[in-house]
Chain A
Amino acid sequence: AQTVTQSQPEMSVQEAETVTLSCTYDTSENNYYLFWYKQPPSRQMILVIRQEAYKQQNATENRFSVNFQKAAKSFSLKISDSQLGDTAMYFCAFNPSGWGKLQFGAGTQVVVTP
């Protein structure tokens, strides 16, 4: 079975500071895809960043970056220069083959305070 674990139910960070969210997964696959989705109070699921397992370089999207450690099966998300609009639930997701279903972690609630 393949699972995705997010061990931090909630994280609080002050504006302009940095926060790192952890995610681990379990798989026997060699090539797969990892994602971070953001769900603000509007409940829309928004893709933040994606990483392909065969790429060694960590993905970056503006203030969002990942630390992908394939051997450790770890995929953390760093939010730099946090903004109030970053307040949301963040889900780590795993796709073993590039097609088909995503498996989601339980989510981490990020609260950005002034």
Chain B
Amino acid sequence: DAGVIQSPRHEVTEMGQEVTLRCKPISGHNSLFWYRQTMMRGLELLIYFNNNVPIDDSGMPEDRFSAKMPNASFSTLKIQPSEPRDSAVYFCASSFFQGHKGTGELFFGEGSRLTVL
């Protein structure tokens, strides 16, 4: 079975450019999470969706960040304009929750390493 698929795997861009990261969750999963990993701050939850609806976006650092989930099989995380401090690995993860219950574990993609020069 295919796992969580993220693209691109690596992205190098210049400050001020728009960056779009993409994620395809595991088929059948109804929850999707975007995490950011840096040396300084570790793993931080940016936003998560349940049944394509954003539930908690309190981790989104600022208005330059936006995330969408137009359907159950696709999500994007966009940064516009990008800044050097956005350099990090961005993980997408998915899971299945039903009636506020689930196994609790998340299944992660391989991450997208973003470098903003």
> Closest B-chain residue to A96, C-beta based?
B104
Interface size class of B (residues with CB under 8 A): 20 to 34
Q: Chain B's interface: helix, strand, loop or mixed, by majority?
A: strand
Please state if A101 and B45 are interface contacts (CB–CB under 8 Å).
yes
Whether the Cβ atoms of B43 and A91 lie closer than 8 Å is: yes
A76 at the binding interface (Cβ < 8 Å): no
Interface of A is mostly: loop
Against A, the Cβ 8 Å flags (1 = close, 0 = not) of B92-117 are 01010100111111111011010000
- Given A44-B110, A45-B91, verify A97-B105 contact (CB < 8 Å): no
Q: How large is the interface on A (under 10, 10 to 19, 20 to 34, 35 or more residues)?
A: 20 to 34
A-B contact count (CB 8 A): 65
Asked if A68 is an interface residue, CB under 8 A from chain B, the answer is no
Chain A residues close to B by CB (< 8 Å): 32-33, 35, 37, 42-47, 50, 52, 91, 95, 97-107
Q: Please give the distance in Å from A104's CB to the nearest CB on chain B.
A: 4
> Shortest CB–CB separation between residue B5 and chain A, in angstroms?
12
Instruction: Indicate if the CB atoms of A44 and B108 lie closer than 8 Å.
Output: yes
